[in-house]
């Protein structure tokens, strides 16, 4: 029965991520997607922050807090290598971040995950237990099906048949969001007891990872306040769905689900002071511009 539930969860996670990414592609034009591609300096700073510095900081946390339980270490590493959560865009908009950059980077980082996720996992594979084999090619195939393929299909439909994209986009987005909510509720019910039983050291590690990720994004976000906000939120908001999918398909014996859930919950709470501050800054700027 346990094996059946695990398989069902894995399939549902795959379908949910595919639906979210397809709806993302359907709602975006090539011009929106490639905005940051035409600004290589900014794009490189975004990629450096999200795909290099956050994993490095997480690695240091895992190594320095050597008493962390093994599943927590693996869970944090998985979160560090899986950027681009599907709902990041909404979160950044609420925090008054740079929307055009957000949209472009959301798709870019999701597409590049086909390369970055297996590469980072291969580099960090020494941290995994001996009985866990990380096969980069297999992970790349999984990320391709979960993210690259649906986004590409969605963008192709948008560019070729814009009316069809309009007709499909809104209902599919609603369905995908409902699926995501169902997944979140199921995961919470399944693992809440274990999450609440996490050690204080595990909670400290998650808070450290969140706060340092926000700091990295803020410092590398350039001079524009809204861009700083966008990159900070991108750095701190990882992709638990993709992390769960990789764990379920490659090493289901490791109980990393509670850590992924804990990161989503504790990380969101730890980010509240920063998000509140950024909203206040944005409001002050808007007021000043109105006075002018």
Q: For residues 103 and 1, which has the higher predicted lDDT (pLDDT)?
A: 103
What mean pLDDT value characterizes the chain? 88
pLDDT at 94: 79
CA atoms within 13 A on the CB side of 31: 0
Which of 103-117, 193-207, 267-281 bottoms out in mean pLDDT, i.e. has the lowest? 193-207
pLDDT at 260 over 80: yes
Is 263 inside a domain boundary? yes
Measured from the Cβ of residue 252, the count of other Cβ atoms closer than 10 Å reads 15
pLDDT mean over 255-279: 89
Q: From the DSSP assignment, how many helices (H) and strands (E) are in the chain?
A: 14, 0
Q: What is the mean pLDDT of residues 204-230?
A: 95
Question: In the prediction, which pLDDT does 287 show?
Answer: 76
Does residue 86 lie within any of the structural domains?
yes
Does the residue 122 lie in any domain?
A: yes
CA angle 194, 195, 198 (to 5 degrees): 85
**pTM value?**
0.89
Cβ distance 246 to 82 under 8 Å? yes
Q: How many domains does the chain have?
A: 1
Question: Which CATH number characterizes residue 251's domain?
Answer: 1.20.1530.20
HEC string of 146-178 equals HHHHHHHHHHHHHHHCHHHHHHHHHHHHHHHHH
Asked whether residue 220 carries a pLDDT value surpassing 90, the answer given is yes
The total number of residues shown for the chain amounts to 292
User: Which two structure tokens, joined as six digits, stand for 60?
Assistant: 């240091």
Q: Does 6 map to a domain? A: yes
What pLDDT does 292 receive?
58
Please report whether residue 291 resides in a domain: no
Of 281, 205, 271, 269, the residue nearest 236 (C-alpha): 271
Are the C-beta atoms of 113 and 150 separated by less than 8 Å?
no
- Domain encompassing residue 68: 2-284
Q: How confident is the model at residue 291 (pLDDT cuts 50, 70, 90)?
A: low
Q: Would the pLDDT of 288 be above 80? A: no
pLDDT one-digit tens code per residue, 39-78: 999 999 999 999 999 999 999 999 999 889 988 999 999 9
Least confident of 31-35, 108-112, 134-138: 134-138
In a domain, 290, yes or no: no
CA distance 88 to 103: 9
Residues 252, 131 contacting (CB under 8 angstroms): no
- What distance in Å separates the CA atoms of residue 245 and residue 256, rounded to the nearest whole number? 11
Q: What is the mean pLDDT of residues 210-228?
A: 94
- The half-sphere exposure of 107 on its side-chain side, counting CA atoms within 13 A, is 28
pLDDT at 37: 95
Segment 263-270 mean pLDDT? 89
Average pLDDT, stretch 213-220?
A: 97
| Segment among 19-33, 90-104, 217-231 with least mean pLDDT | 90-104
Dump pLDDT digits (tens) for 168-214: 988 998 999 899 888 888 888 877 777 778 889 999 999 999 999 99
Residue 172, domain member (yes or no): yes
Q: What tens digit of pLDDT does each residue of 130-161 get?
A: 767 777 888 888 888 888 899 999 999 999 99
């Amino acid at each position: 029965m346990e094996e059946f539930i695990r398989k069902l969860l894995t399939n549902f996670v795959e379908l949910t991520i595919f639906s979210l990414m397809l709806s993302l592609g359907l709602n975006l034009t090539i011009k929106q997607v490639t905005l940051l591609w035409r600004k290589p300096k900014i794009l490189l700073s975004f990629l450096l922050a999200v795909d290099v510095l956050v994993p490095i900081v997480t690695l240091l946390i895992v190594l320095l807090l050597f008493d962390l339980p093994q599943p927590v270490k693996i869970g944090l590493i998985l979160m560090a290598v899986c950027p681009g959560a599907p709902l990041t865009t909404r979160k950044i908009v609420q925090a008054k971040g740079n929307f055009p950059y957000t949209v472009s980077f959301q798709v870019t980082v999701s597409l590049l995950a086909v390369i970055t996720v297996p590469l980072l996992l291969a580099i960090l594979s020494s941290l995994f237990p001996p009985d866990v084999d990380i096969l980069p090619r297999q992970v790349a195939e999984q990320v391709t099906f979960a993210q690259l393929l649906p986004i590409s299909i969605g963008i192709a439909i948008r560019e070729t048949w814009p009316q069809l994209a309009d007709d499909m986009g809104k209902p599919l987005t609603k369905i995908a969001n409902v699926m995501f909510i169902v997944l979140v509720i199921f995961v919470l019910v399944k693992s809440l007891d274990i999450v609440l039983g996490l050690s204080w050291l595990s909670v400290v590690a998650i808070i450290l990872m969140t706060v340092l990720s926000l700091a990295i994004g803020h410092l590398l976000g350039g001079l524009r306040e809204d861009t700083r906000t966008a990159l900070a939120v991108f750095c701190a908001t990882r992709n638990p769905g993709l992390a769960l999918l990789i764990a379920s398909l490659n090493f289901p014996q490791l109980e990393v689900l509670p850590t992924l859930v804990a990161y989503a919950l504790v990380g969101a709470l730890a980010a509240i002071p920063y998000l509140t501050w950024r909203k206040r800054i944005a409001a002050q700027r808007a007021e000043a511009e109105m006075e002018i």
